[in-house]
Amino acid sequence: MKIAVNLKRLRPAAGALFLFFLIGPLSAPAEESLKEIPVDRLIKAAENGDAPSQCELGLRYLDGKNGLEKDPILATRWIREAAAQDYAEAQYQFGRCFARGRGLEQIPSDAVQWYVKAAEQGHPKAEYALGNSYMNGFGVAKNETEGLKWIRKAAEEGLPEAQCRLAGCYLTGEGVETDASQAARWFRAAAEQGLAEAQCQLAHFYFVGKAEIKKDAAEGARWLRKAVDQGYTEAQYQFGRCFAHGRGMNVFPGGAFQWYQTAAEKGHAKAEFSLGICYLDGFGVKQDAAEGVRWIRKAADRGLPEAENRLGVCYLTGEGVEVNPEEGLAWLQKAADHGSRAARESLDKVK
Three-class DSSP labels, 305-326: HHHHHHHHHHHHHCCCCCCCHH
50 and 20 in contact (C-beta within 8 Å)?
no
Residues 6+ apart with CB under 8 A from 48: 7, 10, 12, 14, 15, 18, 19
Q: 186 in a domain, yes or no?
A: no
Cβ pair 7, 48 in contact under 8 A: yes
Answer yes or no: is pLDDT of 263 > 90: yes
Question: Each residue of 29-84: pLDDT tens digit?
Answer: 355 588 889 999 999 999 999 999 999 999 999 999 888 999 999 999 999 999 99
Identity at 3, one-letter amino acid code:
I
Asked whether residue 261 is assigned to any structural domain, the reply reads: no
How far apart CA 2 and CA 183 sit, in angstroms, is 63
Burial (CB count within 10 angstroms: exposed 0-12, middle 13-18, buried 19+), residue 32: exposed
- Structural domain contains residue 242: no
Reply yes or no on whether the pLDDT at 25 is more than 90.
no
Q: Is residue 10 part of a domain?
A: no
Position 186 pLDDT exceeds 80: yes
Q: Is 341 within a domain?
A: yes
> For residue 344, is pLDDT > 70?
yes
Q: Cβ distance 138 to 101 under 8 Å?
A: no
345 occurs within a structural domain: yes
Contact 292, 278 (CB under 8 A): yes
230-249 average pLDDT score: 98
Residues near 348 by Cβ (< 8 Å), separated by ≥ 6? none
- For the chain, the domain total comes to 1
- Residue 31 has a pLDDT of 52
Residue 338 falls inside a structural domain:
yes
Locate all alpha helices (DSSP H) within the chain, ordered by sequence. Answer: 15-23, 30-34, 39-47, 51-63, 72-84, 88-100, 108-119, 124-136, 144-156, 160-172, 180-191, 196-208, 217-228, 233-245, 253-264, 269-281, 289-301, 305-317, 325-337, 341-350
Q: Indicate whether 209 belongs to any domain.
A: no
Which pLDDT does position 208 carry in this prediction? 96
Query: What pLDDT is stored for residue 66 in this prediction?
Result: 83
For the cut 90, the answer to whether the pLDDT of residue 228 exceeds it is yes
Whether the predicted pLDDT of 336 surpasses 60: yes
**Coil, strand or helix: which one is 17?**
helix
Q: What is the mean pLDDT of residues 17-25?
A: 36
Query: Mean pLDDT for the chain?
Result: 91
Q: What's the pLDDT at 349?
A: 85
143-176 core/surface letters (b: 16 or more CB in 10 A; e: else): ebebbbebbbbbbeeebbbbbbbbbbbbbeeebe
Q: How far apart are CA 57 and CA 227, in angstroms?
A: 32
H/E segment holding residue 175: none
Which pLDDT belongs to residue 30?
Answer: 52
Cα Rg of the chain, angstroms: 26
Four-point Cα dihedral 269, 178, 163, 112, nearest 10:
-90
CA distances from residue 308 to 169, 261, 321, 351 in whole angstroms, order as listed: 31, 19, 14, 19
**Residue range(s) defining the domain that contains residue 337:** 303-351
Given a cut of 90, is residue 198 above it in pLDDT? yes
Instruction: Estimate the crossing angle of helix 108-119 against helix 124-136, to 10 degrees.
Output: 140
From residue 218, alpha-carbon distances to 182, 203, 267 in Å are 23, 9, 28
